[in-house]
């Protein structure tokens, strides 16, 4: 979906309930966050920062399975606490999605909570300035597009939004 098409979808969504284009209202924004903020209806948007959410966890996990469970529980709680009130629309911009990929956190809560009045946008820019600060050892593989690949795998190619156009 192009930036123009997604902007049109958001404008319609701001006015009335809109059936999902790709099965559920879950989209992966592949352009910059700045471009998204220009087209996002401000009165509807709320940010879910997974890095901040994980920093507020009650304790540090001992292993990746525990990290997955703690983060998943925190996401469930955040979604419940920040649910839109009846008759209101909400666009949730999800940041820090590398944590979803790293710990293989299921996207089920987002699927369950998306509907005609609640839409999720996962930030995963194709072009990123992300790079290691120091050279990595040979046994470490750096894949800057890993988060985008993870989200594409679980949401499908039809959920991609933000290409120029």
Average pLDDT over residues 37-56: 93
**At CA 46, angle to CA 75 and CA 29, rounded to 5?**
85
Over residues 119-149, the pLDDT tens digits come to 999 999 876 656 778 888 888 887 778 888 8
Got the DSSP string for 20-46? -SBSBSEEEE-S-HHHHHHHS-TTTEE
Q: What is the pLDDT of residue 104?
A: 94
Question: Helix (H, G, I), strand (E, B), or coil: what is residue 122?
Answer: strand
Over residues 3-29, the pLDDT tens digits come to 999 999 999 999 988 888 667 899 999
Question: Domain range holding 145?
Answer: 3-161
The CATH number for 136's domain is 3.40.50
Rounded distance between C-alpha atoms, residue 92 and residue 129, angstroms: 24
Q: Indicate the number of domains in the chain.
A: 1
Stated pTM of the model = 0.89
Q: Find out whether 75 and 82 touch, Cβ atoms under 8 Å.
A: no
Task: Check residue 127 and report its DSSP letter.
Answer: S
Task: Report residue 73's pLDDT band, with 50, 70 and 90 as the boundaries.
Answer: very high
Q: Find out whether 119 and 25 touch, Cβ atoms under 8 Å.
A: yes
């Amino acid at each position: 979906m192009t930036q123009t098409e997604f902007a049109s979808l958001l404008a319609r969504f701001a006015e009335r309930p809109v059936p999902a284009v790709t099965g559920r209202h879950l989209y992966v924004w592949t352009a910059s966050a700045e471009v998204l903020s220009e087209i996002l209806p401000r009165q509807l948007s709320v940010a879910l920062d997974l890095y901040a959410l994980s920093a507020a966890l009650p304790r540090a996990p001992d292993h990746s399975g525990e990290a997955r469970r703690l983060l998943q529980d925190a996401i469930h709680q955040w979604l419940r606490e920040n649910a839109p009130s009846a008759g209101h629309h909400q666009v949730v911009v999800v940041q820090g999605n590398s944590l979803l990929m790293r710990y293989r956190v299921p996207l089920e809560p987002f699927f369950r909570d998306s509907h005609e009045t609640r839409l999720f946008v996962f930030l995963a820019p194709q072009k990123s300035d992300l790079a290691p600060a120091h050279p990595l050892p040979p046994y470490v593989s750096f894949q800057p597009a890993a988060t985008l690949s993870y989200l594409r795998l679980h949401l499908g190619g039809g959920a991609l939004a933000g290409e120029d156009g």
